[in-house]
Amino acid sequence: MKIRGKFLVLASMGLVATLSMTGCDSEPQQEAVPAGSIVIALGDSLTYGYGASLDAAYPKVLADLSHWTVINAGVNGDTSADVLARVDDITTQNPDLVLFGVGGNDVLQRVQPETTRANITATIDTLKSANIDVVLIAEPHFSASALFGRVSDNPLYEDIADAKEVPLYSGGWSAVLSDDTLKSDRIHANAAGYRQFAEGLHDYLQEEGVAR
């Protein structure tokens, strides 16, 4: 099953206008990923759920909301290169969908943005070549000042989503990590933060037709 972006078709006087969101193309979306499907959440400590119990991590909350079997493949400290190195292990599990978010540690470790872009792109290419659908998740562009205030998404995610034609969930982590009441430390969520992120992601997936 191929995931496409959300479409609204307006018909008037024989003219049809199709409006698409980021990461979409002109083909209509297919049916949603059904309950019971295998979904892998691939990423770093934000996926793993650092700062809270594993039952509070976003993949577990999302599983409860979506009725999917969501496998938590988040690893604390992973960079984009680390995830790329283990993506073949993900493809062998043949998931119906991968929710993919990584890159925050690249910024903290001062990895060159083009290297991060290349690693994320290569990971998406590997998943797509295995006929696995991908939803990209934006992570914040951390800076010394942003660590103590409001953070925003790294702009490279939008560029990658456009180039690779994959859906992008943006703003979720930036909103959580800009709110001290939702954080366990400067760069990780607490249980309430992971729940807010999971609920926002689930709403987005429903809007995109990926989840019911």
Which pLDDT tens digits describe the chain residue by residue (212 residues)? 545 443 333 333 333 333 333 444 434 355 799 999 999 999 999 999 999 999 999 999 999 999 999 999 999 999 999 999 999 999 999 999 999 999 999 999 999 999 999 999 999 999 999 999 999 999 998 765 555 668 999 999 999 999 999 999 999 999 999 999 999 999 999 999 999 999 999 999 999 999 99
Place of tokens 């990461």: 23
Prediction pTM value? 0.85
Which positions ≥6 away from 132 have C-beta within 8 Å? 90, 91, 94, 95, 96, 97, 98
Tokens at residue 181, please? 């009441």
Q: Is the dihedral of CA 199, 205, 206, 210 positive or negative?
A: negative
What Rg, from alpha-carbon coordinates, does the chain have? 17
- What does each C-alpha distance from 3 to 32, 85, 87 come to in angstroms? 8, 25, 20
